[in-house]
């Protein structure tokens, strides 16, 4: 399961604890299900909204949640552990009568429940800077370090091994003693002590979920207008991958008896701006190692530059991920089907062959696989 780190301040943290939900947003509601045929939306605004939606869509019921309270004076740190208890949804109410204390319009939401919650946080120093017990730079929590350097993504996924380390740090900081929360009790953040407390109060949580998220129709419209929509495609895939709701997607990517256990999008792989569009980890019945899928998305027909872009992704995976968790790397280039070409060009086939040759013997890797999508009869279909 994926662990999501939610960035909060002292006010929003209190509200998330009280009303048992997590959310992101930028205060500019975007009614997705009403814009399928509208073109009066600034492209930068739309891309930003769908980027946050892609982050939200990767959440699955049972995923872990850790809150990162941003440092202010001597307070802050990583608090956990919670679990996602609902599918993501869009909250559209402008008048927050049900959440009177909310200070931000967090339209992309999911409900959560306390799981193994510990009283004291692990500080940013302890989690990100203290390297006394590490034997290699690859063991550092790079997902969170990159987020800190770039100052973005209020909902940041961390890798499986990073999750294990951060949860272990929180647990050891509290001598393995988690809070014993009863049904009629709730959690509260004490700013003076920088600790979580149990209060003898059960808040009435507003459980009405908002609209389900319709992305497909917007993609179809953008495609008909010859407009870019890679971020939309990313949000669509993070919403559906591994759920069998889009059978052609899972059939094109995975083999039988293969189960998704981790989903990441816009996965940073360097201190620059390099990000992998989608990374998925799966486990397969009878297979000892996990599979890690590195998926590059393109909403235009394939060219050789798309393949060259994958080189640095595999280099990063081999140096930073595999030493911590040995896996089989599965590079995927997911691109729009070109109706004008029935065969892959000679240049592309040559580049694919060179790609496989470069990593032969260096990385436990499957051959680069091409997956195509097409829009047909108001549907999005995926195939090899």
Counting the structural domains of the chain, the total is 2
Distance CA 74, CA 93 (A): 36
Q: Read off the pLDDT of each residue in 323-327 and give the average, rounded to a whole number.
A: 95
Question: Sorting pLDDT into bands at 50, 70 and 90, what band is 331?
Answer: very high
In a domain, residue 207? The reply is: no
The domain spanning residue 315 has which CATH number?
3.40.1350
What predicted TM-score, i.e. pTM, was given to this entire model? 0.91
- Residue-level pLDDT at 39: 60
With 70 as the cut, is the pLDDT of residue 100 above it? no
Domain boundary among 172, 199, 226: 199
- Is 334 found in the same domain as 290? yes
Residues in CB range of 317: below 8 A, 6 or more apart: 269, 292, 294, 329, 363
pLDDT tens-digit readout, 217-237: 889 988 888 888 999 999 999
With vertex at residue 315, the alpha carbon angle to CA 310 and CA 319, rounded to the nearest 5 degrees, is: 150
Domain that holds residue 368: 216-383
Helix 142-150 vs helix 160-173: crossing angle, to nearest 10: 90
Which pairing describes strands 327-336 and 369-375: parallel, antiparallel, or unpaired?
parallel
Q: Report percent pLDDT > 70 for the chain.
A: 87
Domain boundary among 174, 199, 224: 199
Q: Read off the pLDDT of each residue in 139-153 and give the average, rounded to a whole number.
A: 84
With 90 as the cut, is the pLDDT of residue 288 above it? yes
pLDDT tens-digit readout, 229-261: 999 999 999 999 999 899 999 999 999 899 999
- Is 310 found in the same domain as 192? no
- Is 193 found in the same domain as 88? yes
In a domain, residue 94? The reply is: yes
- Is 145 found in the same domain as 241? no
- Is 127 found in the same domain as 14? yes
Q: Read off the pLDDT of each residue in 314-323 and give the average, rounded to a whole number.
A: 95
Is 166 in contact with 158 (CB distance < 8 Å)? yes
With vertex at residue 196, the alpha carbon angle to CA 195 and CA 199, rounded to the nearest 5 degrees, is: 135
User: Does the bond joining 373 to the residue before it have cis omega, within 30 degrees of 0?
Assistant: no
In a domain, residue 208? The reply is: no
- Is 334 found in the same domain as 378? yes
With 90 as the cut, is the pLDDT of residue 297 above it? yes
In a domain, residue 331? The reply is: yes
Residues in CB range of 151: below 8 A, 6 or more apart: none
Length of the chain: 384
In a domain, residue 210? The reply is: no
In a domain, residue 239? The reply is: yes
Is 120 in contact with 195 (CB distance < 8 Å)? yes
Q: Report percent pLDDT > 90 for the chain.
A: 51
With 70 as the cut, is the pLDDT of residue 32 above it? no
Distance CA 351, CA 367 (A): 12
Q: Hey, which of 166-180, 195-209, 270-284 has the most confident mean pLDDT?
A: 166-180
- Is 237 found in the same domain as 185? no
- Is 155 found in the same domain as 189? yes
The domain spanning residue 124 has which CATH number?
3.10.590.10
With 90 as the cut, is the pLDDT of residue 40 above it? no
CA distances in angstroms from 332 to 244, 281, 293, 318, 336, listed in the order given:
19, 13, 7, 16, 13
- Is 254 found in the same domain as 130? no
Is 87 in contact with 61 (CB distance < 8 Å)? yes
- Is 242 found in the same domain as 151? no
- Is 177 found in the same domain as 220? no
- Is 245 found in the same domain as 171? no
Domain boundary among 143, 169, 199: 199
In a domain, residue 366? The reply is: yes
Question: Sorting pLDDT into bands at 50, 70 and 90, what band is 383?
Answer: very high
Q: Read off the pLDDT of each residue in 12-18 and give the average, rounded to a whole number.
A: 88
In a domain, residue 206? The reply is: no
């Amino acid at each position: 399961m994926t662990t999501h780190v939610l960035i909060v301040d002292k006010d929003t943290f209190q509200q998330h604890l009280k009303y048992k939900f997590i959310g992101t947003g930028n205060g500019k509601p975007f009614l997705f299900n009403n814009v399928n045929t509208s073109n009066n939306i600034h492209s930068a605004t739309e891309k930003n909204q769908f980027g946050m939606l892609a982050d939200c869509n990767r959440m699955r019921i049972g995923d872990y949640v850790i809150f990162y309270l941003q440092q202010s004076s001597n307070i802050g740190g990583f608090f956990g552990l919670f679990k996602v208890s609902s599918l993501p949804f869009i909250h559209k109410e402008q008048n927050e009568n049900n959440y009177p204390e909310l200070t931000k319009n967090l339209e992309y939401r999911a409900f959560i429940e306390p799981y193994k919650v510990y009283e004291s946080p692990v500080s940013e120093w302890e989690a990100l800077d203290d390297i006394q017990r590490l034997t290699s730079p690859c063991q550092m929590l790079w997902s969170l370090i990159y987020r800190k350097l770039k100052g973005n993504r209020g909902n940041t996924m961390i890798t499986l091994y990073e999750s294990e380390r951060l949860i272990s740090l929180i647990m050891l900081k509290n001598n393995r003693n988690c809070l014993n929360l009863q049904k009629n009790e709730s959690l509260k953040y004490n700013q003076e002590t920088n600790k979580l407390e149990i209060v003898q109060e059960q808040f009435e949580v507003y459980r009405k979920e908002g609209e389900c998220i319709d992305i497909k129709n917007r993609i179809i419209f953008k495609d008909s207008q010859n407009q870019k929509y890679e971020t939309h495609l990313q949000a669509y895939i993070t919403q559906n991958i591994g759920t069998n709701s889009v059978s052609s997607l899972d059939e094109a990517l995975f083999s039988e008896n293969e189960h998704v256990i981790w989903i990441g999008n816009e996965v940073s792989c360097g201190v620059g701006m390099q990000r992998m569009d989608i990374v998925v980890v799966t486990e397969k019945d009878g297979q000892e190692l996990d599979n890690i899928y590195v998926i590059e998305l393109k909403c235009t027909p394939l060219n050789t530059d798309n393949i060259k872009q994958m080189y640095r992704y595999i280099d990063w995976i081999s140096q930073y991920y595999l030493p911590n968790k040995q896996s089989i790397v599965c590079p995927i280039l997911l691109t729009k089907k070109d109706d004008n070409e029935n065969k892959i060009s000679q240049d592309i086939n040559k580049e694919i062959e060179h790609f496989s040759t470069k990593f032969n013997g260096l990385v436990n890797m499957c051959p680069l696989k091409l997956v195509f999508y097409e829009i047909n009869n108001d549907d999005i279909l995926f195939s090899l």
